[in-house]
């Protein structure tokens, strides 16, 4: 047995995956190389810049090593689907076997359909069908390989470890780190998940998303650990795993989403604002809306953002500033250590009201109220926006009212005006229902 990792750096960059995600993947590969070496299994690393280069590279490697059987985990964005099909044809074309595993989902796309035989486009009925389809067989996890000899030295890879070191303490990589984080979550936070998950000042989430995105742990492993039939706290977290599968089913069934299209195509004609200064203020955490700015600074300083804040920050860009959601989707992909096309796209289209099962277009989060509700003591906001540390709680999310001289920008747009503008713009983009 031989393990192999193909680094498609040019393709990843074309998909806007940034240095934090790449570094995390590389650290994970190093950890995997050590784990396999302990079993006497070498892990080979090959640079294959573009997915189109993968079939020939895999065939060459199989011929070089004498391998007769390729096993790989499926992925579902359009380019990855095309790559996997090409690899399958190339490998079987030379008389070798190919087996695909569903490592990134609990239930594979295409397995769940409506009564009319169509893909689900609404989450709640999808979730009901997802739960009813689970069985012991669907929750089986492929075991680790058996040792095939004495331990060997891990093969070295020519990556610059120093360039990857900054996030190592924040985001330990590899399957052992993933399992350790899962155990910690189940022991310390799962019982409070339903209550704490929306509060960024509390360690209330699993922080497993980088591992799920990189494949160092599978959603089936997570589901087996948290349990499907547990108390409400467990089911609230299971709900997030269902959402994760749902967005993968969506991109698999509707390829135009992977091509940058709105799930509902009529929104591709929505008139967005050209506002470079507003976009830059949003990216740099200088909008004058404290919760939005705290969220964006968390993203750029740590490579991660709390899920509640992802919705707040995304909706601010799309509806307060009326900037095309694709700008935000791209920036998140560039910054996130847990960059994951399906989840990122699904979240952005939900916030922009352009996607399947999305927030209705007239729903526009008020950042001031969101801050008062989900960071009531300002624990998180003051940590990320220290300019506001002296502002009393009652004025924290509208600091102008405090009457203090602050080194902090005024709001770049008025909430009431922005909300009404967004509603009018979206309403005018709706299809003519009388047609």
Per-residue CA distances from 330 to 84, 106, 247, 305, 339 (Å): 24, 27, 17, 15, 10
Tell me which residue of 343, 335, 141 sits closest to 240, measured CA to CA: 343
Catalytic hit among 243, 282, 304, 350 = 243
280 is catalytic: no
CB 93 within 8 A of CB 77: no
Active site annotation includes 272: yes
17: annotated active-site residue: no
Considering 12, 171, 348, 350, which one is annotated as catalytic?
348
Catalytic pick among 171, 282, 325, 350: 325
Whether residue 130 lies in the annotated active site: no
User: Is residue 412 a contact partner of residue 400, using CB atoms and an 8 Å limit?
Assistant: no
Kindly give, in sequence order, each residue whose CB lies less than 8 Å from that of residue 174, ignoring residues fewer than 6 positions away: 27, 28, 30, 31, 32, 35, 216
Partners of 7 in beta bridges? 47
Told to judge if 348 belongs to the known catalytic residues of this protein, a careful annotator would answer yes
* 325 given a catalytic annotation: yes
Catalytic residue selected from 88, 307, 368, 387: 307
Exactly one of 102, 164, 233, 240 is catalytic; name it: 240
Is residue 39 within 8 A of residue 151, CB to CB? The reply is: yes
Instruction: Choose, from 88, 239, 272, 368, the residue flagged as catalytic.
Output: 272
| 106, 134 contact by CB (below 8 A) | yes
What residues are labeled active site?
A: 240, 243, 272, 307, 325, 348
């Amino acid at each position: 047995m031989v393990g192999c990792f193909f680094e498609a750096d040019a393709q990843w960059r074309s998909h806007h995956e940034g240095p934090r995600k790449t570094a995390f993947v590389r650290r994970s590969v190093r950890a995997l190389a050590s784990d396999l070496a302990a079993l006497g299994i070498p892990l080979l690393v090959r640079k294959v810049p573009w997915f189109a280069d993968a079939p020939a590279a895999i065939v060459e490697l199989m011929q070089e090593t004498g391998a007769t059987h390729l096993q790989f985990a499926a992925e579902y964005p359009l380019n990855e689907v095309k790559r996997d099909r090409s690899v399958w044809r190339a490998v079987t074309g030379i008389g070798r076997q190919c087996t695909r595993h569903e490592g990134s989902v609990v239930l594979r796309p295409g397995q769940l359909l409506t009564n009319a035989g169509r893909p689900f486009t609404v989450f709640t009925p999808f979730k009901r069908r997802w739960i009813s389809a689970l069985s012991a067989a669907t929750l089986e996890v492929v075991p680790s390989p058996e040792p095939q000899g004495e331990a060997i030295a891990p093969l070295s890879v020519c990556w610059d470890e120093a360039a990857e070191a900054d996030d190592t303490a924040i985001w330990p990589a590899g399957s052992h780190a993933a399992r350790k984080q899962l155990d910690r979550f189940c022991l310390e936070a799962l019982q409070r998940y339903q209550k704490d998950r929306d509060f960024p000042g509390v360690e209330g989430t699993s922080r497993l998303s980088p591992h799920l995105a990189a494949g160092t742990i599978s959603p089936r492993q997570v589901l087996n650990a948290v349990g499907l039939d547990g108390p409400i706290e467990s089911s609230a977290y299971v709900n997030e795993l269902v959402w994760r599968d749902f967005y993968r089913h969506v991109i698999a069934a509707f390829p135009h989403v992977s091509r940058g299209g709105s799930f509902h195509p009529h929104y591709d004609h929505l008139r967005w604002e050209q506002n470079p200064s507003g976009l830059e203020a949003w990216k740099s955490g200088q909008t004058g809306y404290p919760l939005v700015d705290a969220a964006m600074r968390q993203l750029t300083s740590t490579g991660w953002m709390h899920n509640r804040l992802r919705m707040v920050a995304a909706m601010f860009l799309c509806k307060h500033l009326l900037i095309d959601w694709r700008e935000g989707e791209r920036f998140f992909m560039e910054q996130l250590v847990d960059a994951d096309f399906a989840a990122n796209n699904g979240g952005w289209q939900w916030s922009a009201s352009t996607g399947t099962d999305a927030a209705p277009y007239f729903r526009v989060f008020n950042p001031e109220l969101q801050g008062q509700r989900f960071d009531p003591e300002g624990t998180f906001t003051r940590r990320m926006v220290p300019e506001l540390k002296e502002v009393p709680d009652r004025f924290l999310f509208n600091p102008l009212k405090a009457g203090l001289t602050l080194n902090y920008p005024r709001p770049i747009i008025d909430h009431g005006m922005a909300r009404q503008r967004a509603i009018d713009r979206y309403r005018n983009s709706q299809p003519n229902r009388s047609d």
